A and B are shown apart, each in its own frame.
Chain A
């Protein structure tokens, strides 16, 4: 998983330039660097690890296919995460549609979260925090996870959740307050 040692010190923008010139190793370094946050963004939207992995892969494919459109006004990571957010939301729509077609109105994603048999899993503290986090509204969830797990700024999160910097801040604080209510002190 280690980044290519020579390219590892390059900035994203330098690597993007190399990708444009067809350098596959530069692509791989960008994958090493950002697949975690891409995955967490997709998982935050989809609530399913397998789907999030699929969406992550498609996000990188689409980003590199469209690399000519990346003009550097935003950071590469922000641009990539915006693509990932769109990809995950698109996949979520498809999955919901398929499940509605198959099961008539049964929302499996929701149902799984409320399954009493999942109580066993919830016993561990980490699993409990994750479960409560998973039930937050999407913007609050992404604002909290991207801020705490990945250290993104409110400004960057705003671009990813299609809101302003101020709205990302509000969503983050509401999310934290809600988590504290649900998880206790």
Chain B
């Protein structure tokens, strides 16, 4: 029998009470819990906490699906990712265009774009500016909205011209 410390067992108890442990861990934890007062008390306590688990309102899933369907059906329907791509490209192009003019304004404007959130290093932690985010005083780079309206082909052409 593998020797195992209480601290290790206690780490695994949530999986134990959810019956999600693999066979080996299950045997080790079962043997330990049956002979350890502290860990068996913790099992009881965790069951008690688990009994207070709360569920979302029953209508939530269908409400979310309706909102998704509405967005799919609308003109804006999940072209967001498309727009985002254009805006990113737009900034690349605009940055090239304005490099000679100084880039402070561009830098400030990009700060208002989706930014990395409190999750610091996590590149996925996208925080979108809220609908009512205060953007007053944030310089807007001329040209970007126009670039966002270009088709893929038009933008590719423009990039090609700029890149030489």
**In the bound complex, do residue A24 and residue B68 qualify as a contact, i.e. CB atoms below 8 Å apart?**
yes
**In the bound complex, do residue A57 and residue B49 qualify as a contact, i.e. CB atoms below 8 Å apart?**
no
Instruction: Tell me which of B11, B85, B119 has the highest count of chain A C-beta atoms within 10 A of its own C-beta.
Output: B119
With an 8 A cutoff between CB atoms, is B69 at the interface?
yes
Q: What sequence of 0s and 1s flags, for each residue 34-55 of chain B, a beta carbon within 8 Å of any chain A beta carbon? A: 0000000110011011111111
**In the bound complex, do residue B128 and residue A62 qualify as a contact, i.e. CB atoms below 8 Å apart?**
yes
Residues of A contacting B67 in the complex (Cβ-Cβ under 8 angstroms): 57, 60-61
CB distance from A16 to the nearest CB of B (A): 12
Residues of B contacting A57 in the complex (Cβ-Cβ under 8 angstroms): 60, 63-64, 67
Residues of B contacting A162 in the complex (Cβ-Cβ under 8 angstroms): 118-120
Q: Give the residue name and chain of the B residue nearest to A127 (CB).
A: B52
Q: What sequence of 0s and 1s flags, for each residue 53-85 of chain A, a beta carbon within 8 Å of any chain B beta carbon? A: 100110011101111111101100001001101
Chain A residues 144-161 with CB under 8 Å of chain B are: 144-145, 147-149, 151, 154, 159
With an 8 A cutoff between CB atoms, is A28 at the interface?
yes
With an 8 A cutoff between CB atoms, is A120 at the interface?
no
CB-CB under 8 A for A69 and B124, given A35-B61, A133-B52: yes
State the main secondary structure of chain A at its contact with B: helix
CB distance from A83 to the nearest CB of B (A): 6
**In the bound complex, do residue B49 and residue A39 qualify as a contact, i.e. CB atoms below 8 Å apart?**
no
Q: What sequence of 0s and 1s flags, for each residue 92-132 of chain B, a beta carbon within 8 Å of any chain A beta carbon? A: 00000000000000000000001001111011111110100
Residues of A contacting B54 in the complex (Cβ-Cβ under 8 angstroms): 40, 43, 130, 149
Q: Give the residue name and chain of the B residue nearest to A152 (CB).
A: B14
With an 8 A cutoff between CB atoms, is A137 at the interface?
no
A42 to B129, CA, bound (A): 18
**In the bound complex, do residue B80 and residue A65 qualify as a contact, i.e. CB atoms below 8 Å apart?**
yes
Partner of A82, one of B49, B52, B124: B124
**In the bound complex, do residue B117 and residue A86 qualify as a contact, i.e. CB atoms below 8 Å apart?**
yes
CB distance from A149 to the nearest CB of B (A): 4
**In the bound complex, do residue A147 and residue B14 qualify as a contact, i.e. CB atoms below 8 Å apart?**
yes
A65 to B110, CA, bound (A): 19
Residues of B contacting A144 in the complex (Cβ-Cβ under 8 angstroms): 49
**In the bound complex, do residue B52 and residue A126 qualify as a contact, i.e. CB atoms below 8 Å apart?**
yes
Residues of B contacting A147 in the complex (Cβ-Cβ under 8 angstroms): 14
Residues of A contacting B69 in the complex (Cβ-Cβ under 8 angstroms): 24
**In the bound complex, do residue B18 and residue A31 qualify as a contact, i.e. CB atoms below 8 Å apart?**
no
Q: What sequence of 0s and 1s flags, for each residue 116-151 of chain A, a beta carbon within 8 Å of any chain B beta carbon? A: 000000000110011001000000000011011101
**In the bound complex, do residue A61 and residue B130 qualify as a contact, i.e. CB atoms below 8 Å apart?**
no
With an 8 A cutoff between CB atoms, is A51 at the interface?
no
User: With A69-B126, A83-B126, A162-B118 given, can you name 18 additional A-B contacts, CB distance below 8 Å?
Assistant: A24-B69, A24-B72, A31-B64, A60-B64, A64-B78, A66-B81, A66-B84, A74-B122, A82-B122, A86-B117, A90-B130, A125-B48, A130-B54, A144-B49, A148-B17, A154-B11, A159-B122, A162-B119
Please give the residue numbers on chain A whose beta carbons come within 8 Å of chain B beta carbons, in ascending order.
Answer: 1, 22, 24, 27-28, 31-32, 35-36, 39-40, 43, 49, 52-53, 56-57, 60-62, 64-71, 73-74, 79, 82-83, 85-86, 89-90, 94, 125-126, 129-130, 133, 144-145, 147-149, 151, 154, 159, 162, 169, 173, 176, 179-180, 183, 185
Q: Give the 6 A-B CB pairs with smallest separation, nearest first.
A: A65-B80, A129-B52, A39-B56, A68-B81, A149-B53, A86-B117
